[in-house]
Amino acid sequence: MDIKRHDQIRAGIIGLDTKIPLSDGTKRPYINLDNAATTPPLRAVVQAVQSFLPWYSSVHRGFGYKSQLSTAVYAEARRIILDFFGAPAEKYTALFVKNASEGLNKLAQRLPVAEAEVLTTWMEHHSNDLPWRLRKQARFIQLTNDGCLDLADLERKLRKARHRIKLVTVCGASNVTGIINPIQTIAELARYYGAQLVVDAAQLAPHYPVQIQSGPAPIDFLAFSGHKMYAPFGSGVLLGPLAAFRDGPPDQVGGGTVIAVSREEVVFAPPPEREEVGTPNLLGALALAASLRWLSRNDFPQLVAYEAELTKYAYHQLKTVPGLTLYGPPPERYPRVGVISFNLEGIPHGLVAAYLSFEAGIGVRHGCFCARPYVHHLLGLSAAEIISAENLAKAGKKCLLPGMVRISFGFYNTKAEVDQLVDALKSLRLEEEKIKNRYRIDPATGEYLPRIGNFKAALRRHTKTFFNL
Ligand SMILES: Cc1ncc(COP(=O)(O)O)c(C=O)c1O
């Protein structure tokens, strides 16, 4: 992508020039390398919400003009979302939920699969692990040493269970290594052995075009979050076949879910209404649809190609930092979205993140990223080390927990930002002892904070400014 076009794209994101305070009292424009957690908003998304606000009213609940318009806008948002993923409205529905976690929990609650009929993997975010573990007694697909899915184990487990596995659920892309799973192959295997496929697309959908019917076997269910795709207004989507939601009671019941209620009888509405209890998040739905429209209109495949190039660049630049370990296979060998996790030998992951934040103005994440079994695997921890780490966590001792540092890109990030990160890491390496002495660890939270200044008090003061209306 040429620089002019990239500058235009960057101008479409809110907040890229925001200056943040550093521990030496200066200010610097924030470099956000934590897009896997949440992306900043697209200007077009905020404009869509602002232009609609004067018309905002109740959905499905009134007959005034604004109410009818709001209902139509909500329906149009659903149509745009189905369309973006190539899902025909006669067969599929897009249920609005608050985020991917809620969508996956809903599915685990809602699907009539019995215990031990679900196959998930050891590389999942907790939100695609715990709902199945707790509600359906999931089995887990093993991983290769470098953290990829072991497809032979997937097939073995499907074959061995002789059509007893009814559901396979995998992340489209990992939030730890960015690895993109071979969804089409998994869909075909699942279908061959009589199982449906759920894709946790929280990390895939914002960074890779997904069509649910692109090959001989469709993806059955897809869950993702708006706040990870430039639409931070509290909505996410669970997309799936209408037929899956026609029978059985919804997971939550109340207003909007019924077509008939008498003293004796309750008749639920057809999906999607029966699955969306109460007044829906209309602004969230509008924002998410506006974001997808923006991506479609701004050559999403080109943005995807740009992110892939940036990821390769970052991976190789990071390798030049002495003592840096990268996790997962290189992006040339295995497709990855722009998520890279690493450790710097001899420096705690929390300290690396603190130094980047307080002295370089770079936002990253550190820890286990809500994917503890996967991080344990990538770190090569023994069973005894895992038990001891989890015992520390159970006891609330956060100081010594294992983990990694994670950077993650959006299409607006630049090679210059990667260079700043790499320079900062090299400086940290060079002045390791001096820098370590500049921080103290808070035993309660496990956070590293600068010894000078009172960062928490300054943060409290800044927080208050948003409420002095
Ligand atoms: C792969 C994956 N799945 C699910 C989630 C949960 O997303 P949310 O917190 O928006 O529900 C995340 C969040 O980071 C994720 O990375």
Give the distance (Å) from ligand 1 centre to CA of residue 437. Answer: 35
The terminus-to-terminus CA distance of the chain in angstroms comes to: 42
**Domain end marker among 270, 297, 324:** 297
Query: Domain containing 444 — which CATH number?
Result: 3.90.1150.10
Neighbours of 268 (CB within 10 A): 20
Residue nearest to ligand 1 atom 12, measured at CA: 202
Identify whether 38 is part of a domain: no
7 and 71 part of one domain: no
Judged by DSSP in three states, 108 sits in helix
108-117, 141-150, 404-413: the lowest-pLDDT one: 108-117
The answer to whether the CB of 196 is under 6 A from ligand 1 is: no
Identify whether 386 is part of a domain: yes
Please choose from 35, 174, 199, 225 the residue to mutate so as to test ligand 1's pocket, defined by most ligand atoms within 8 A of CB.
225
Give the residue, 148 or 398, on which the prediction is more confident: 148
Identify whether 450 is part of a domain: yes
Residue 442: domain span: 3-32+299-465
Identify whether 270 is part of a domain: yes
DSSP structural state of residue 141: E
Residue range 216-257, pLDDT digits in tens: 899 999 999 999 999 999 999 999 999 999 998 899 999 999
- pLDDT confidence of 338, banded at 50, 70, 90? very high
- Token readout for 50 is 């602002």
Give the pLDDT confidence score for residue 136 in this predicted structure: 77
The answer to whether the CB of 125 is under 6 A from ligand 1 is: yes
- pLDDT confidence of 469, banded at 50, 70, 90? confident
178-187, 439-448, 457-466: the lowest-pLDDT one: 439-448
Please state the atom number of ligand 1 nearest to the C-alpha of residue 127.
4
SS (H, E, C) 375-440: HHHHHCCCHHHHHHHHHHHHCCCCCCCCCEEEEECCCCCCHHHHHHHHHHHHHHHHCHHHHHHCEE
309 and 289 part of one domain: no
366 and 434 part of one domain: yes
Residue range 2-13, pLDDT digits in tens: 999 999 999 999
Give the pLDDT confidence score for residue 398 in this predicted structure: 80
Q: Is residue 222 a contact partner of residue 239, using CB atoms and an 8 Å limit? A: yes
Residue range 159-193, pLDDT digits in tens: 998 778 999 999 999 999 999 999 999 999 999 99
The answer to whether the CB of 343 is under 6 A from ligand 1 is: no
352 and 214 part of one domain: no
Please choose from 228, 238, 375 the residue to mutate so as to test ligand 1's pocket, defined by most ligand atoms within 8 A of CB.
228
The answer to whether the CB of 105 is under 6 A from ligand 1 is: no
- Token readout for 131 is 């709902």
**Domain end marker among 267, 297, 327:** 297
As a whole number of Å, the CA-based R_g of the chain is 23
Average pLDDT, the chain: 95
306 and 372 part of one domain: yes
Return d(Cα 27, Cα 400) in angstroms, integer.
Answer: 31
289 and 332 part of one domain: no
Give the distance (Å) from ligand 1 centre to CA of residue 331. Answer: 22
Give the pLDDT confidence score for residue 144 in this predicted structure: 97
Residue nearest to ligand 1 atom 7, measured at CA: 100
- pLDDT confidence of 152, banded at 50, 70, 90? very high
The answer to whether the CB of 94 is under 6 A from ligand 1 is: no
The answer to whether the CB of 203 is under 6 A from ligand 1 is: yes
Give the pLDDT confidence score for residue 392 in this predicted structure: 86
- Token readout for 127 is 């939100």
Identify whether 40 is part of a domain: no
Q: Is residue 340 a contact partner of residue 316, using CB atoms and an 8 Å limit? A: no
Give the distance (Å) from ligand 1 centre to CA of residue 126. Answer: 8
- pLDDT confidence of 400, banded at 50, 70, 90? confident
The answer to whether the CB of 337 is under 6 A from ligand 1 is: no
Identify whether 41 is part of a domain: no
Identify whether 329 is part of a domain: yes
Judged by DSSP in three states, 225 sits in strand
**Domain end marker among 250, 280, 297:** 297
Give the distance (Å) from ligand 1 centre to CA of residue 104. Answer: 10
Give the pLDDT confidence score for residue 393 in this predicted structure: 86
185 and 234 part of one domain: yes
Return d(Cα 305, Cα 327) in angstroms, integer.
Answer: 22
The answer to whether the CB of 199 is under 6 A from ligand 1 is: no
Return d(Cα 71, Cα 73) in angstroms, integer.
Answer: 5
Total domains present in the chain: 2
- pLDDT confidence of 373, banded at 50, 70, 90? very high
Q: Is residue 307 pLDDT above 80, yes or no?
A: yes
Q: Is residue 116 pLDDT above 80, yes or no?
A: no
Give the distance (Å) from ligand 1 centre to CA of residue 101. Answer: 6
Query: Domain containing 66 — which CATH number?
Result: 3.40.640.10
109 and 198 part of one domain: yes
Segment 340-346 shows an average pLDDT of 98
378 CA to centre of own chain: 19
Give the distance (Å) from ligand 1 centre to CA of residue 410. Answer: 16
180 and 80 part of one domain: yes
Helix or strand holding residue 114 (H, E): none
Give the pLDDT confidence score for residue 73 in this predicted structure: 98
412 and 427 part of one domain: yes
The answer to whether the CB of 420 is under 6 A from ligand 1 is: no
255 and 291 part of one domain: yes
Give the distance (Å) from ligand 1 centre to CA of residue 30. Answer: 23
The answer to whether the CB of 204 is under 6 A from ligand 1 is: no
Q: Is residue 460 pLDDT above 90, yes or no?
A: yes
Catalytic residues: 370
- pLDDT confidence of 100, banded at 50, 70, 90? very high
23-37, 112-126, 199-213, 337-351: the lowest-pLDDT one: 112-126
Segment 447-464 shows an average pLDDT of 94
Give the pLDDT confidence score for residue 1 in this predicted structure: 87
Return d(Cα 322, Cα 344) in angstroms, integer.
Answer: 8
CA atoms within 13 A on the CB side of 422: 17
Give the pLDDT confidence score for residue 113 in this predicted structure: 78
Please state the atom number of ligand 1 nearest to the C-alpha of residue 100.
11
Residue nearest to ligand 1 atom 14, measured at CA: 37
281 and 315 part of one domain: no
Identify whether 37 is part of a domain: no
